[in-house]
Structure 1
Amino acid sequence: MPTVSRRLEIRPLAFRDACDLVDALRRHRARPVGHQFSIGALDQTGRQLGATMVGRPVASHLDDGLTLEVTRLVTDASRNCCSMLLSAAWQAARAFGYLRLITNTHADESGASLRAAGWTKVRKLPPRRGWSTPTRPRRDRGTDEVARSLWRAPSPRRAENRAETAAASQTSPPTGATVSRSHTEADGRIDELPAIKDPTR
């Protein structure tokens, strides 16, 4: 798998194209049924190296109208690709007015890319029998009976500080790695959201 450093570019991605990348790069997870937006990472030749898909939270108790969830994140293992896509997804979500971005990982995954992008692990979630209910049937998309960890994107101020640090240490920071200053007014509002509750309690 490629791990060499290369200049990456961020571009919007159509739902079908994002799903095709999920099918190609992460076969154990089925494509989602929809999205709010998707973002792709390309090299200088235009080759797709990865994608992130962002949608409404899968858990209904987190679907408060101000929260989005990274439902898929796939790459070909190119260096910094995951953290760049996560940062771009958070920047885009904030541009739409959302105040919180979350995601889940399998419990055995280290979350190194999430930590590199400034995300924080909120809690560990026990295995769930599935999201299907008599009133809302759903098929298993690779997450049933799997212990997971819930993560949250950094506050806008923390994200901006990380972007400024990256800019100071690199002469040409990757496109999409910075966070616009125009959204720092959300600093106060982000903490006014209800705390993420554990549905098992």
Structure 2
Amino acid sequence: MKIVPLTLREANDFVEQHHRHSARTSNDGGKFAIGIEVGGELVGAAIVGRPVARMLQRPGAAELLRCCVSPAAPRNACSRLEARCKRIWQQMGGTRLLTYTLARESGASLRATGAVREATVDAESWNRPSRRRAARSIEAEDKVRWSWTLPEIPA
């Protein structure tokens, strides 16, 4: 397995083809994207950006927006992508990395990389009277927020 840099477009194209329940990310707020290759074939992608939740947008914080692998990916590919995203963000000066799973998902790969289960987030619509949004094709589900606290790397 080999970790490779990706453009946000390449990573989103991969997510669009392989993610079980999430669509492309919006490119605003994207920080970086990486992939994992096996024998020259892209089998996984991860995208890190600014936290989607406005109240979590603090200095040093980022969100692992998508982590997705294809059926051809070897075991532990998600954990490798998550661990590398954590390391890259830390090397960029980040101090906190967040991500979410659906409540029905185990979060095993996150626990394997040291993530801490932080909160349960109730399902809500993105639509608000002051900010109308089109209905999404997927029903909203409860989620679990996970986080990593990253120690500062001395200069």
Paired residues, what number? 151
Q: Which position in structure 1 is the counterpart of 2:43?
A: 49
Report the CA distance between 1:26 and its aligned residue. 1.1
Equivalent residue for 1:153, pick from 137, 148, 153:
148
Does residue 63 of structure 2 align to residue 69 of structure 1?
yes
Question: Contact 2:94–2:150 at 8 Å: present in 1 too?
Answer: no
Q: Which position in structure 1 is the counterpart of 2:111?
A: 115
Q: Which position in structure 1 is the counterpart of 2:35?
A: 40
Task: Evaluate the alpha carbon distance shift between residue 141 and residue 56 of structure 1 in structure 2; reply closer, same or farther with a 3 A threshold.
Answer: farther
Please give the alpha-carbon distance, in whole angstroms, between the structure 1 residues aligned to 2:135 and 2:89.
27
Please give the alpha-carbon distance, in whole angstroms, between the structure 1 residues aligned to 2:110 and 2:63.
13
Q: Say which one has the larger Rg.
A: 1
Question: Contact 1:127–1:147 at 8 Å: present in 2 too?
Answer: yes
Equivalent residue for 2:4, pick from 11, 19, 24:
11
Please give the alpha-carbon distance, in whole angstroms, between the structure 2 residues aligned to 1:149 and 1:87.
19
Task: Evaluate the alpha carbon distance shift between residue 63 and residue 83 of structure 1 in structure 2; reply closer, same or farther with a 3 A threshold.
Answer: same
TM-score by length of 2: 0.87
Structure holding more strand per residue: 2
The alignment-based identity, stated in percent, is 36
Question: Contact 1:29–1:142 at 8 Å: present in 2 too?
Answer: no
Structure holding more helix per residue: 1
Structure 1 runs (4+) deviating above 3 angstroms are: 132-144
Equivalent residue for 2:22, pick from 16, 19, 29:
29
- Unmatched tracts of structure 2, length 5 or more: none
Question: Contact 1:128–1:145 at 8 Å: present in 2 too?
Answer: yes
TM-score by length of 1: 0.68
Alignment of 1:96-107 (within 5 A): 96-107=92-103
* CA RMSD of superposed structures (Å): 2.2
- Unmatched tracts of structure 1, length 5 or more: 1-7, 157-181, 187-201
Q: Which position in structure 2 is the counterpart of 1:174?
A: none
Please give the alpha-carbon distance, in whole angstroms, between the structure 2 residues aligned to 1:140 and 1:55.
24
